[in-house]
Amino acid sequence: MKTKKNDPFQHLKDWIENGDSALEVEMQDELDDTESQPLPKEPAGPQKKLFVLDKKNVLKRLNIWYAVAAFAVCLALIGVLVYAAAQLPKFGGADTLVDSEVTAFYVENTMEETGAVNIVTGIILDYRGFDTLGESHVLFIAVCTVLLLLSIHGEKDEEQKLKADAYDRHFEPHHDEVLQCCARLLTPLVLIFGLYIIANGHLSPGGGFSGGAILGAGLILYQNAFGYKKTERFFTFRTFKLVSLCALLFYSLAKGYHFFTGANHIPNGISAGHVGNILSAGLLLPLNFVVGCVVACTMYALYTMFRRGEF
Amino acid sequence: MLETVRFIVFALLLIAGLMIQLTAVLGACRFRFSLNRIHAAGMGDTLGLLLLCLSAIVYEGFSWISLKIVLIVAFFWLTSPVCSHLIGRLVRETDEHFKSEAKEWKP
């Protein structure tokens, strides 16, 4: 960071560097007067130019049509879903799903065919592997949307970035002794617990989604206690991109290979192994890890995006 | 005989824990200011949870499950006070009328 004499952002930089202590002094003086606190003004973004279009009426009419169309689509969707729900078998009935062959097949054959003691994992990652692939992509798409809307990464305007940082520092208790002590104790335990749940996904309740959520919670706890400077050492935007890309790519390729060879009865070299061991159940363990990585990255990315707009 | 005693202890602990939780909920709903509410809610997370988990341990006896329940208590006793502390700090820094509220509740 440069320090010129006539730097227009000097007050923001000062604030960022010793925000907490500056805030303390202000709190003593002017607790009741919030307006004189140096809250930076609302950033006058380029979005405001949208409303200065010449053809105002066209835009208005488009907006009306857009609202009508959205309403109609929503109504149609609700109708379809309600109709589908009405066609479902009765919940809790005595003969509901008794004649479903799939359920009995799963219960009888999952352990044998996939090597998973936890039948749920066997179903969602093996029989319905593409469904889980779609779910992982849904998470990834959600993060992409949030990135599009909120990210200030690559923003040329230095003031915008500094303001975001200042906003972030304003109310957030940084360098809180108590929280840091607690986080130092808990973060490793939380991360290990998350890894344990992921690694035992095919043996006991759990798996990629729940373990990944715990990993993300551990990351968020660490970030809260120690700030962005510490997390930037191991988790940046680049890391997020790399991990998400590799995870989703590996999942797609592995699952595609597995399904292709399985459907054509080609030997694929993936065996269930000794049921009950950690290193068993063929693809389930790596797939669980991959899903866990995606979920953890998603949790952390959503948190940082909504908090500051940057990793 | 021993079973009866154990059941009575279990029931007493359970009822005491539920009473404390009820007090916490009532306090969190009834008090007007954030700091008082934290005071009430924090009690439920520590003492109420301890009593409830103790009752579960008495019901279960010595086993791996009760050891895990002890871990739950340890986790909550570590994290819940930290949460209360952070919320209290945030209230002090963000509440516009903090001074008047704090004055009202001075003894």
Nearest to B49 by CA among B27, B26, B82, B16: B16
For A189, the closest chain B residue by CA position comes to: B75
Cβ of A34 within 8 Å of Cβ of B96? The answer is yes
Are A198 and A121 in contact, with CB atoms under 8 Å apart? no
The string of DSSP codes covering A61-105 is HHHHHHHHHHHHHHHHHHHHHHHHHHHSPPTT-TTTTTT-HHHHH
CA A117/CA A281 separation, integer angstroms: 9
CA A202/CA A192 separation, integer angstroms: 17
Determine the 3-state secondary structure of A124 from DSSP: helix
Tell me: the pLDDT tens digits for A73-115? 999 999 999 999 888 777 666 666 666 677 777 777 777 777 7
Domain ranges of chain B: 2-104
Cβ of B78 within 8 Å of Cβ of A179? The answer is no
What's the pLDDT band for A30 if we cut at 50, 70, 90? very low
pLDDT at A34: 45
Are A310 and A153 in contact, with CB atoms under 8 Å apart? yes
CA distance B50 to chain A (A): 19
For residue A82, give every residue at least 6 positions away whose Cβ sits within 8 Å of its Cβ, in sequence order, or none.
none
| Rounded (5°) CA angle B50-B51-B57 | 90
Residue keyed to tokens 């319905």? A128
- pLDDT at residue A32 greater than cutoff 50: no
CA B22/CA B47 separation, integer angstroms: 12
Tell me chain B's radius of gyration from C-alpha atoms. Answer: 18
Cβ of A186 within 8 Å of Cβ of B93? The answer is no
pLDDT in tens, chain B (107 residues): 888 998 999 999 999 999 999 999 999 888 888 888 888 888 888 999 999 999 999 988 888 888 989 999 999 998 898 888 888 888 877 777 777 766 655 55
| Rounded (5°) CA angle A39-A45-A47 | 140
For B83, the closest chain A residue by CA position comes to: A179
Residues of B with CB under 8 A from a CB of A: 75, 78-79, 82, 85-86, 89-90, 92-94, 96-100
Dihedrals phi, psi of A17, to nearest 5 degrees: -70, -45
A142: Cα within 13 Å, side-chain hemisphere: 16
What value does the mean pLDDT of chain A take?
A: 77
Are B100 and B106 in contact, with CB atoms under 8 Å apart? no
In single-letter form, the type of residue at position A168 comes to D
A272, two tokens? 């269930």
Kindly give the residue spans of alpha helices, DSSP state H, lying in A88-236: 101-114, 119-122, 129-150, 158-171, 177-199, 208-231
Determine the 3-state secondary structure of A194 from DSSP: helix
CA distance B103 to chain A (A): 13
* Cβ contacts of B79 on chain A, cutoff 8 Å: 182, 186
A96, two tokens? 């509901």
For residue A174, give every residue at least 6 positions away whose Cβ sits within 8 Å of its Cβ, in sequence order, or none.
A19, A20, A227
3-state DSSP percent of chain B in helix, strand and coil, to 5:
90, 0, 10
Tell me: the pLDDT tens digits for A35-68? 444 545 555 444 444 444 455 667 777 888 888 9
| Rounded (5°) CA angle A177-A181-A185 | 165
> Tell me, what's the ipTM?
0.78
